[in-house]
Structure 1
Amino acid sequence: MNTSSANVRTMLRTYGKQLTNAKRLARFRQALGTAQPVDDVARQAKRRELVERIAREVIENLIVSSTLSPVVGAILGQMEQEFGHAFVFDYPVDGTDVQILRETAQGPLEITGSERNRIMRRLWEITLSKVDDTML
């Protein structure tokens, strides 16, 4: 599946508009006194699911694209700060899983094995944190 960064930006913009409309509707209902009591655990579960879905989209589409949004820049910056060097994330032409390349003086070097798993796990954690921090 090939998704352009424009499609992802459109999806995120649409999500933002829907979120704004939902807040307005909730304030309106609360003002009328007809607001339904919302289960806090259910709200947190829905938020967590939404954060994970957006984080997955960020990793699958924006990290490997050439355009650098503020969120992606912050994620990559934190990765570089923690690991001491920059990474390049790329999908190979044959359609296999994402490749992680470390930029070295000799050129890009592919990271594999347990180090790759550690980097992907940390990328997921940082992305979840950044998406959660930027959501209302």
Structure 2
Amino acid sequence: MVVQPVNVRLMLRTYGKQLTSAKRLARFKRALALSGAQDMVSISREARRRELVERIAQEVIENLLVNGQDNPVVTRVLEELEQELGEKVLFDYPLDGGEVQILRQTDQGPLEIAPEEKLGIMRRLWEITIANVDETML
């Protein structure tokens, strides 16, 4: 039986996505358990909205980084980021669970972005996502 490298790569990518999704779900369950143990605090309507916007923005970014762009908000955020940067960028999570990699699409193929530039791109990605989520919420 001949195993094609493409099939192995696709299988590993699928397993990697499942593993990442399971880790994310476990993290959310822990956060929910911790938030239930805290005292109820009365906060203003604006603060609750801001907290909700940030939670949704975090989910949008994780969908962008982990699962790809299969959501209109995620697509809009990525398009706006690429328009500002003036180039196409790719987000990739290594299968070993390491830190997200940001790759610049070039004629020679994808190249990893320097750490200091990566920090700026991640910061701008967060700002764009917050603005888009806040704009689309009622």
Provide Cα deviations, 1:67-93, integer angstroms capped at 9, x if missing partner: 421111111111111011111111111
SS in 1 for 2:98: coil
> Contact 2:57 / 2:126 at 8 angstroms: preserved in 1?
yes
- Does residue 52 of structure 2 align to residue 50 of structure 1? yes
1:94 is the counterpart of 2:96 = yes
Aligned partners of 2:99 and 2:53: how far apart in 1? 22
Instruction: Report the Cα offset of residue 66 of structure 1.
Output: 3.3
Match of 1:12 in 2: none
TM-score for both structures, normalised by structure 2: 0.67
2:136 equivalent in structure 1 = 134
Unpaired runs of at least 5, structure 1: 8-38
Q: Say which SS state the counterpart of residue 115 (structure 1) adopts.
A: helix
Cα shift at 1:56: 0.7
Aligned position for 1:107: 109
In structure 2, stretches of 5+ residues that fail to align are 1-18, 26-41
Letter in 2 for 1:2: T
Counterpart Cα distance in 1 of 2:84 and 2:52: 26
Distance 1:104 1:55 in 2: 29
Check 1:67–1:78 CA distance in 2 against 1; reply closer, same or farther (3 A cut). closer
Are 1:64 and 2:66 counterparts?
A: yes
If the length of structure 1 is used for normalisation, what is the TM-score? 0.68
Instruction: Give the equivalent residue in structure 2 for 1:14.
Output: none
Spell out structure 1 runs of 4+ moving beyond 6 A.
none
Q: Which amino acid aligns with 1:58?
A: V
Give the equivalent residue in structure 2 for 1:117: 119
Mapped contact 1:3–1:61 kept (Cα < 8 A)? no
